[in-house]
Amino acid sequence: MSLRFRRSMKLMPGVRLNFGKDSVGMSFGVPGARYTFNSKGRRTVSMGIPGTGISDVTTLSSGRSSRRAQVEEVPQIGDSEPRPGLFASGAERALHVFLRDIYGADDTVNSAMEVVEAAGALKAQHPKLAAAMDLISVLHGIRDTDTSDAASALAMKLWQERDIVFNDRLVRKYFLGIYPGVQITAGIFSVGSYTSQTLGFIVSELLQKEGKYPEAIEVLNQMRPDQLVGISLADIEITSGDFDGAIETTEDIENEDDATAMMLVLRGIAFREKGLDDAALECFKRAIAKKSRSEGVIHRGLFERAMTYKKLGKKAAAKKDLEKILVDDPQAAGVNEVLKGL
């Protein structure tokens, strides 16, 4: 997976202009909710954790989706980029240069291996940068098969040492401007400053990839509770076959925002997998009832409802929902394949 970088320019409160390697885009919103679109037609949404930018690269699948830790984008620090002070140490100045080289203004795309090796070399030269360089190595290393094993092991270690790592002075100063995007479930990404919460999502996703569901749930239970943690928990429960657990996790949910709408979708999947198809259809209906919800959430709800209709033999209804997705996204992953099978 190649790295993608983005610089941003603040136009006015809540509105930024983003410059990518081969596109220009606009993002707007407030902390916890942001919508982004660019000149190539890409539309992205963030929610739940304060931050900016979110990928809409969504893999739609029915029921139990395959798990993988996916870091979509590592944007450049914007106009509030921290800088070394007049009396900054050589280590801090080296860190600043390193971050500018990796997330700088030019269009250079660095491979995961290049970033990991550069981070390791800088860590050896300046041991005080160990926490910062290890966090960068995880963020980039898990994106490539050649570095993912070592990065995964390092992520687990950092999670155990997270209180020390994220209290590092240079991490606190410089990492609030780095915004990784981690896929929580199809249609939802966590995007916010690189904090222990972000690392928790990464570690949880890595554990899910390995099929270590109890361990992944334990990580989530150690994190600060929020809607995205609830979504991730319900998704794990569905993936591991604990449908009763997912139903309990998502009870008393109303469609109040994108996150709660997605929780209704997951609740519907759990009902469907238990054979309670009418309850499932009601959940999907509520999840997509408000057209102000993000495209990713609406598409996931339509897709899962279509899969339920297909299960019930209602091919016309399934086809109608799938075609609604194609109106917005003709290349939506998985949709054309399902249509061909109807």
The mean per-residue pLDDT over the stretch 255-272 comes to: 95
The mean per-residue pLDDT over the stretch 69-94 comes to: 70
Residue 324 lies in a domain: yes
The answer on 337 and 226 residing in a single domain is yes
CA dist., res. 235 & res. 138, Å (int): 23
Which of 122, 146, 178 is the C-terminal boundary of a domain?
A: 178
301 pLDDT more than 90: yes
Report in angstroms the alpha-carbon separations of 100 from 75, 94, 201, 203: 11, 10, 26, 26
Residue 128 lies in a domain: yes
Residue-range definition of the domain harbouring residue 237:
220-341
Residue 204 lies in a domain: no
Are the CB atoms for 266 and 239 separated by under 8 Å?
no
Are the CB atoms for 305 and 63 separated by under 8 Å?
no
CA dist., res. 271 & res. 267, Å (int): 6
C-alpha closest to that of 5 among 136, 125, 130, 110: 110
The answer on 224 and 160 residing in a single domain is no
Which of 147, 178, 209 is the C-terminal boundary of a domain?
A: 178
What residue spans of the chain are helical by DSSP H?
A: 90-102, 112-125, 130-141, 148-160, 162-165, 169-174, 196-209, 213-222, 227-239, 243-249, 258-273, 277-287, 295-311, 315-328, 335-341
The answer on 156 and 89 residing in a single domain is yes
Stretch among 81-85, 187-191, 274-278 having the lowest mean pLDDT: 187-191
The answer on 165 and 108 residing in a single domain is yes
Residue 238 lies in a domain: yes
Q: What is the pLDDT of residues 29-69, one digit of tens each?
A: 434 444 444 444 444 444 333 332 223 333 334 444 444 44
The answer on 328 and 225 residing in a single domain is yes
For the chain, the domain total comes to 2
β 24-30/15-19 pair status? antiparallel
Q: What is the pLDDT of residues 152-170, one digit of tens each?
A: 999 999 999 999 999 999 9
Helix (H, G, I), strand (E, B) or coil at 149: helix
CA dist., res. 216 & res. 209, Å (int): 10
Length of the chain: 342
The answer on 325 and 227 residing in a single domain is yes
What does 94-143 look like in DSSP terms, one character per residue? Answer: HHHHHHHHHS-SS-----HHHHHHHHHHHHHH-GGGHHHHHHHHHHHHTT
Q: What percent of the chain has pLDDT over 90?
A: 59
Residue 135 lies in a domain: yes
Q: What phi and psi values does residue 34 have, to the nearest 5 degrees?
A: -145, 140
Residue 121 lies in a domain: yes
Are the CB atoms for 132 and 171 separated by under 8 Å?
yes
The answer on 229 and 322 residing in a single domain is yes
Which of 178, 210, 230 is the C-terminal boundary of a domain?
A: 178
What are the beta bridge partners of residue 182?
Answer: 71, 190
Residue 100 lies in a domain: yes
The answer on 165 and 243 residing in a single domain is no
The answer on 280 and 225 residing in a single domain is yes
More confident residue, 53 or 300: 300
CATH classification at residue 265: 1.25.40.10
How many whole angstroms from its chain centre is CA 256? 20
The answer on 174 and 85 residing in a single domain is yes
Residue 92 lies in a domain: yes
Stretch among 42-46, 76-80, 190-194, 216-220 having the lowest mean pLDDT: 42-46
